[in-house]
Structures are given as C-alpha cells and as structure tokens.
Structure 1
Amino acid sequence: MHLTGLLSFPLTPFTADDTVATGVLAEHVAAHVAAEPAGLFVACGTGELTALSIAEYREVLSTARRVVDGRMPVFAGVGGGPRIAREFLTVAAESGVDGVLLLPPYLVHGPPAGMVDFVRYVAAAAPLPIVVYQRANAILDPAAAVALLDLPTVIGIKDGEGDLDRMRALIDAVRTSGHPRAAEFGFLNGLPTAELSVPAYRALGVDGYSSAVLCFVPEIATAFYAAVEREDAETVQTLMDEFYVPFAALRETTPGYAVALVKAGARLRGQPVGPVRPPLRDVTAEHLAQLEEIIARGRAALANIKAVA
C-alpha cells in the first residue's frame, strides 16, 4: 500500500462530561470523507491518541470504519511504551483498520537502532501495515531506515522532524539499497501545518502530507492541494500568505496548539467537538479571536482566487 496525496487526520470529539462523542465523531469523519482525501488517520496526534483509553480507542476506530465504509484506507494511531503500543496494535487489527501510524515511544530516548528494535517489537503483535512516525525521540539514520525494509509490515516513514537534509539521506539510502522492497517503501510529510513545507518535500519526491486544516476549513485545504497538483504557484503562495503562515505563527505561541487550535477551529465551524484533554489546554479568548480572523482572511483569499478564475 503506497500512500500519497492529501491525508486526513480527524479530531476525537469529547462531551462535556468527558466521554467520546461518537455521534459527533461520525459527523466529523463524514465531513473528512466528503473532502476526498487519499486516506484517513484516526486517533493519531490530532486525534489525541495518548489521551484515550483502550475502550475509547476501540470505539473511535469502529466509528471511523463504519462511516468510511471502504471508500478510502483507514489508519489508526499506535503508541506509548512497547507493551501498550502492542496492545493498541492488537485492538487496531481486531477493529479491521487498514494500517497504523506508529508514534514515538513514551518518554525514553534511544539510538536509531533502538528505534528499529521498538518497531520490530510492536510489529510482532499483528500483521498490519505500519507507517513509522519520525519525530521527537524517534529519530532514524540511513542505516535504520534501510533496516526497516527487513520488517515486512513496515510500509513507510512519516517525517515530523523537518530536517530536510536528514530526510534526503533517508530517502537516498532506501532507494539505493538494492532491497526488493525499496521502490514500494513510502515517505510522508507529517510536519505541523505541513502545507508550509509541501514544496520543499515535493522536491525530495515526497508527495503525501497530513492536513489538520481539513478538520476546520476543508475548502482551503482542498483548494491548496489542488493548486499544488496543478503547479499553480500563485494560488499556493496566496493561501500561504493569507492563511497558513499566520495560522502557523499562532500555533507556535503555545505548546499543544497544534491540536487545540484545530479543535477551536472545528468549534467555530459549528462542530461540537468539545475540549482537549490535559495536558493540552483550550485556546484563550484572545487567540480564538485571532484564529477567527485568520480563517476569515483565508476564506476571503480563496473567494478572490475563485472570482479571478
């Protein structure tokens, strides 16, 4: 399975009494499906995997699969310590998802070879396709990337670190390894507000990227992707200047805003997705007003682009 294109990362809605709002989740996932992404990734970073119990995780996965109904691949987040990650992977396999995104191990740091050991350990729990998420304390080197090719269920690497020189080295090492799986092994751009780095990653041959913006202004996310695909540099730059750059600047003001701002944006759109769970914090009133203004600027820019076209 080779993933490319625009990838969806839905939120996990919570009720006022702190349970998963499955009805809202179903509507939220349906909105993502309507945007026609290449794949749907539930209970990952934006979906607050680390805040979910195993029972809630199972509920989120089953709801997403039911709504998607085979129209696109559904991947689920897996993470935590090695034993907990195995438990998540087992539940994911039982839920019938198409694959998983393996998040960094909890807390501890290890060498790149240790990360390969972690992937191998978790992968042994179930034969589901695995995308390894490189970020934080899960950093690979070229030798580790090539070693992943020997794990038959590992299908790619999603980069959330943003070191383009490192990413180039990983890609080159895999592509020139002579390994029989080298050509089919995939690479994804998973940086926060990944749209900002799409041109740079596409220059490396990485065409797939995650879009949290699909959660609250899908019209901007899909228009941006369409502009990238048709190489419309003017539209890409306009949407970056008017929406993505100011949104990313606001995101950087507070740790955790990569999720909290997205949930706030969904609420502004009328989706009752509820609050974030700690240690994340909901956005301040001041930042909410700024977010509303940024969304308005983005929509206005998109309207002008369509009017000219």
Structure 2
Amino acid sequence: MIRGSIVALVTPMHANGDVDWEALDKVVDLHLKHGTAAIGAVGTTGESATLDYDEHLDVIKHVIKRVDGRIPVVAGTGANSTHEAIELTRRAKNAGADYSLLVTPYYNKPSQEGLYQHFKAIADAVDIPQILYNVPSRTGCDMKPETVYRLVDHPNIVGIKEATGDLERARQLIENVPADFAVYSGDDATAIELILLGGQGNISVTANVAPAEMAELCRLGLEGQVEAARALQHKLMPLHTKLFVEANPIPVKWAMHEMGLIGLGIRLPLTVLADEYHEDVRNALRQCGLI
C-alpha cells in the first residue's frame, strides 16, 4: 500500500504541443529528490484526454524508466470504453507500472451497476493493483460508496482516489472498507482532513510545485501530528485554491513555468492561463516561498 504524497504529474510540452521529454525527466527527478511517495503518470493533470493512445503509453513508459524502481509508478489507464481501459491497463502493466489508476467512465454516464461491471471487468482481466478514481466534477459520473463496497473484495482493487472533497463521504468510506483498502484524497484543499480521518495519502496537483511540502504534510497527517499538519495546510492553502482558478492543469502548468521547471506548452482545447490570473498564482507561489 502506498502511503503519503502521490503526485498527479503534469506532462510537460513544447509550445507546439509535443511532449517535452527532457522536462519530464526533470520533474520526475524533482519528486525523487523531495520525498514524493509515488508518481501518477497520465491522469487528468497529465492531460490524458488529449494525448493519443501511443503517446499515453509512451509517457507512462518514460516515467517508469526514469523512476527505475525507486518509488512506485501509478499509471492512469481509465477510459469511458471498458475495452480500451482493459487494453491500456494491460499495456501499462507490461511496461512495468506498479499500479493503475482508473477514472470512472466519463461522458456516457453509466449506472451504478454499469460502474460495478466496468471496474470488475478490468480487475478480472489484468492482474495489477488498481486504484479507483471518483471525480464527478470532471466526468459527470459519481460512483457511490455502495458501489465501492461491492468492489473492495476483488484482490486487484486496492484503493480509491476520492476527489469529491466531501469529507463525510470520505469518513463513510474509511469506516466501511477493509483495513488493507486505501482511501486517498484527490482534493488538495481537504486532503489533510481526509488523512486525519484515516486515509492513506493524497494524489496531489499541488505536489507538482511543492513536492517536499506535500510530502511533509502527508507525513504529519499520517503520524497524527494534527496541529503541525493543519499549520502547514494553512500555509499551502493559497496554492490549493489558486491552482484551480481555471481548469486543471492550466494553472499548475503555468506555475511550473513561472518556477522555471517546464515550458508553457499545453494542448487544445486547454489554453495557457489567462493574464488576469497570473498575479493570483504568482502571489500564491510567493506566499509559499516557491519563487
């Protein structure tokens, strides 16, 4: 079980939208240096929606090679087609991924029974530890706790990234799943409270710009150091809010460019952060001592 700060890694790009492999190495190395517990490759933050099939797998393979077994790699392999999700998951496993992250099918809005059958089919087909990912604000599809409870006994389904920010739902999940089933936050602003409820960590956007701070935040929460954890969370809150002034990963990629980590490349239909938000994001970076 992974415990701690798992970065939802951006996919750096050149101005023309091509993947910037050199910058990808640079940001992976940053996380290896600063205590990130695992790297999530090609999730929402990694622009999975605009990478084509081959690019998707190439980025996963590149991250796995760069990490070289030093920390786990969690490959984003979800899709709104069960067949495609199975194939992506199988190929990620064959490439050496340690876990897969499977978002609920987006756009086609399956029923709860459809969600159960979707995730069961993937888990039956591919023998790799799988983390479910519930983010209804992005997918238009909300997997209810009762559906999660139907899936937790499958040996290949080992956790969930719960990105609703609903702490009551998080508490309900944590209290009703087996001890070896991990509940992770997918919402930086409420992550420490989920960890203090008994969650195992945070799959984080903020960790892209503040890897050491997010690793420390999760450590404090997991150790039950409530006052210190909440004090650090208060310091980081400007980032947790300003990195979402436009759709993720628009603000975080701009922030990383401001820090000199990556270029400004991002793929349509996403665009570079609007000028009106530059100072807000820049001030958040300054408040946290990052620039």
TM more than 0.5: yes
Counterpart-to-counterpart distance in 2, 1:125 and 1:229: 33
TM-score w.r.t. length of structure 2: 0.89
| Aligned residue in 2 for 1:184 | 180
The answer to whether the Cα contact below 8 Å between 1:220 and 1:299 also exists between their aligned partners in 2 is no
CA distances 1:8-41 after superposition (whole Å, capped 9, x unpaired)? 2221011223221112111111111111222111
The worse-fitting range, judged by mean Cα deviation, of 213-222 and 266-275 is: 213-222
| Aligned residue in 1 for 2:273 | 283
Which AA in structure 1 matches 2:205? A
| Distance change (3 Å), C-alpha of 1:189 and 1:271 | same
| Aligned residue in 2 for 1:121 | 121
Counterpart-to-counterpart distance in 1, 2:41 and 2:149: 27
Q: How many residues align?
A: 287
Q: What root-mean-square deviation, in Å, do the aligned CA atoms of Structure 1 and Structure 2 show? A: 2.4
| Aligned residue in 1 for 2:73 | 74
Over the matched positions of the two proteins, sequence identity in percent amounts to 25
The answer to whether the Cα contact below 8 Å between 1:89 and 1:125 also exists between their aligned partners in 2 is no
The worse-fitting range, judged by mean Cα deviation, of 258-267 and 145-154 is: 145-154
| Aligned residue in 2 for 1:178 | none
CA distances 1:243-295 after superposition (whole Å, capped 9, x unpaired)? 42x334434433x1x31111111111112343222232221223122211211
The worse-fitting range, judged by mean Cα deviation, of 109-118 and 128-137 is: 109-118
Q: Flag structure 2 segments of 5+ consecutive residues without an equivalent.
A: none
| Aligned residue in 2 for 1:307 | none
**How much does 1:187 deviate?**
0.9
Which residue of 186, 210, 219 maps to 1:217? 210
TM-score w.r.t. length of structure 1: 0.84
**How much does 1:132 deviate?**
0.3
| Distance change (3 Å), C-alpha of 1:214 and 1:252 | closer
| Aligned residue in 2 for 1:95 | 95
Which AA in structure 1 matches 2:195? R
| Aligned residue in 2 for 1:179 | none
CA distances 1:128-178 after superposition (whole Å, capped 9, x unpaired)? 11100012144333432221124221111110112222232333332xxxx
Counterpart-to-counterpart distance in 1, 2:111 and 2:257: 41
| Aligned residue in 2 for 1:157 | 160
Q: Flag structure 1 segments of 5+ consecutive residues without an equivalent.
A: 175-181, 303-309
The answer to whether the Cα contact below 8 Å between 1:115 and 1:138 also exists between their aligned partners in 2 is no
Q: Which has the higher contact order (CA 8 A, sep 6+)?
A: 2
Question: Which has the larger Rg?
Answer: 1
Counterpart-to-counterpart distance in 1, 2:124 and 2:221: 38
The answer to whether the Cα contact below 8 Å between 1:242 and 1:294 also exists between their aligned partners in 2 is no
Counterpart-to-counterpart distance in 1, 2:84 and 2:232: 40
